[in-house]
Amino acid sequence: MTRRDYEYIVLGLGGLGSAAAYWLSREAGADVLGLEQFELGHVRGESQDHSRIIRLSYHTPGYVELAKQAYAAWHDLEKESGEQVILETGGLDLGPRASAIPLETYSDSMAASGVAFEHLDAAEIMHRWPQFRLTDDIHGLYQERGGIAMAARANAAHQRMAREHGASLRDRTPVAGIRAAGGEIDVEAGGVSYRCRRLAIAAGPWSNAALAHVGLELPLEVTQEQVTYFASPRRRDFLPDRFPVWIWMDDPCYYGFPVFGEDGPKAAQDAGGKPVTAETRTFEPDPDNSRRVRDFLARYLPGAVGPEIYTKTCLYTLTPDRNFVIDAVPEMDGAFVAIGAGHAFKFASLIGKTLAQLARDGRAEADISPFGIARPILTQKDPARSYMV
């Protein structure tokens, strides 16, 4: 007989929800149910590729502190699962001295948080990584702990460990209803009515559909993004022991990875995609976006460019200020929500841990005060949006 009553239910088993299921299961074991509408590891959401950038370099001291805690959460998972999910290759933020994303906010934030970094001019960058072709007006910040969060592997590790702790994870089980039930919560999924005391919602691009069940709508914008793996003619120059993750800090903003998971480096434009919904999105790459990335590489990282191995599309769920949502759901006692704003993978294990703490204790160790669901910009119907941070 299907068990219907749980202490905790997690809605959505992408990057954040798998982490929440894992962290909840460490204490609550079999009292945790995770519900995923598609198969585990599906590619329709935000979290499924070989690599995501992880870095301490961020634009506010608050994010830097959060990033420190994120590394610690990932290391707990690595220790418990026996599986490596973080690869520190070093991280380089670079761009023109007069740019849309000033490097000073990053260096000031790291300095305020006691994180070591180096400020490099163009000549020094090219000396260390001759793969770059830069002019004198370019400068950069190097932080040695920057690197790769192994997304697909990390999701699978969270899921596997959650199950080992006794959690039930049900795939192909869409949640179709959420209702308050006298201090508890009824969750309708796959034709079954489940009951729980606490619900963690981590629905990614489907967040507004999930929140609609509790009468909430946030001014989120979902965009169709893409990343490209290139068969570089100089593949060896882009191996992780000699090439860092990098971010071009200007508008447009580009970023890239050493060879990892496929047989060539990966590069992309950040927030370069068009608005879609999880239903209207296609899996077709946007040729204009592809051309911009290729032109950028031809100019600044010429050895990276080669035939496309493939381009993979993916969704961002963007808040107008690009800050996360991590909070209690005001309309429903016992429900909590996390939304990643297109840069959350590096924090996924920590956000899952935070959701677990909120669900269990009603408060979290991490400072999530900037991520409130009722912050003014999220109460506006059509707020100004700025994604370059």
Ligand X SMILES: Cc1cc2nc3c(=O)[nH]c(=O)nc-3n(C[C@H](O)[C@H](O)[C@H](O)COP(=O)(O)OP(=O)(O)OC[C@H]3O[C@@H](n4cnc5c(N)ncnc54)[C@H](O)[C@@H]3O)c2cc1C
Structure tokens, 15: 């990057």
Among residues 142, 170, 138, which one has the least CA distance to residue 296?
Answer: 138
**Is there binding between residue 140 and ligand X (CB under 6 A)?**
no
Alpha carbon distance 360, 199 (integer Å): 10
Q: What is the DSSP string of 190-217?
A: TTEEEEEEEEEE--GGGHHHHHHTTT--
Task: Give the per-residue contact string, 239-278, with ligand X (x = CB under 6 A; - = no).
Answer: -----------------------------x----------
Total residues contacting ligand X by CB under 6 A comes to: 36
State which residue, 122 or 187, has the beta carbon closest to ligand X.
187
**Is there binding between residue 35 and ligand X (CB under 6 A)?**
yes
**Is there binding between residue 11 and ligand X (CB under 6 A)?**
yes
**Is there binding between residue 16 and ligand X (CB under 6 A)?**
yes
Q: Which part of the chain contacts ligand X (CB under 6 A), choosing from 23-31, 197-205, 287-295, 359-367? A: 197-205
Q: Which part of the chain contacts ligand X (CB under 6 A), choosing from 47-55, 135-143, 234-242, 356-364? A: 47-55
Alpha carbon distance 282, 44 (integer Å): 10
State which residue, 46 or 286, has the beta carbon closest to ligand X.
46
State which residue, 122 or 229, has the beta carbon closest to ligand X.
229
**Is there binding between residue 344 and ligand X (CB under 6 A)?**
yes
104 class by beta-carbon count within 10 Å (0-12 exposed, 13-18 middle, 19+ buried): exposed
Task: Give the per-residue contact string, 83-122, with ligand X (x = CB under 6 A; - = no).
Answer: ----------------------------------------
383 class by beta-carbon count within 10 Å (0-12 exposed, 13-18 middle, 19+ buried): middle
> In whole angstroms, how close is the CB of 76 to ligand X at the nearest point?
18
Among 314, 325, 358, 378, binds ligand X (CB under 6 A): 314
Residue 138's SS3 state is strand
Cα distances from 296 to residues 135, 264, 271, 369, in angstroms, run: 14, 17, 15, 37
**Is there binding between residue 67 and ligand X (CB under 6 A)?**
no
How many residues make up the chain in this entry? 389
Contact call for residues 351 and 10 (beta carbons, < 8 A): no
> In whole angstroms, how close is the CB of 228 to ligand X at the nearest point?
10
Q: What is the DSSP string of 299-359?
A: HH-GGG--SEEEEEEEEEEE-TT---EEEE-TTSTTEEEEE-TT--GGGHHHHHHHHHHHH
Structure tokens, 10: 């997690």
State which residue, 21 or 210, has the beta carbon closest to ligand X.
210
> In whole angstroms, how close is the CB of 268 to ligand X at the nearest point?
6
Among 59, 145, 266, 346, binds ligand X (CB under 6 A): 346
- What is the distance, to the nearest Å, from the Cα of residue 151 to the centroid of all Cα atoms in its chain? 9
**Is there binding between residue 220 and ligand X (CB under 6 A)?**
no
Q: Which residues bind ligand X (CB under 6 A)?
A: 11-17, 35-38, 45-47, 52-53, 174-175, 202-206, 210, 225, 227, 268, 314-316, 340, 342-346
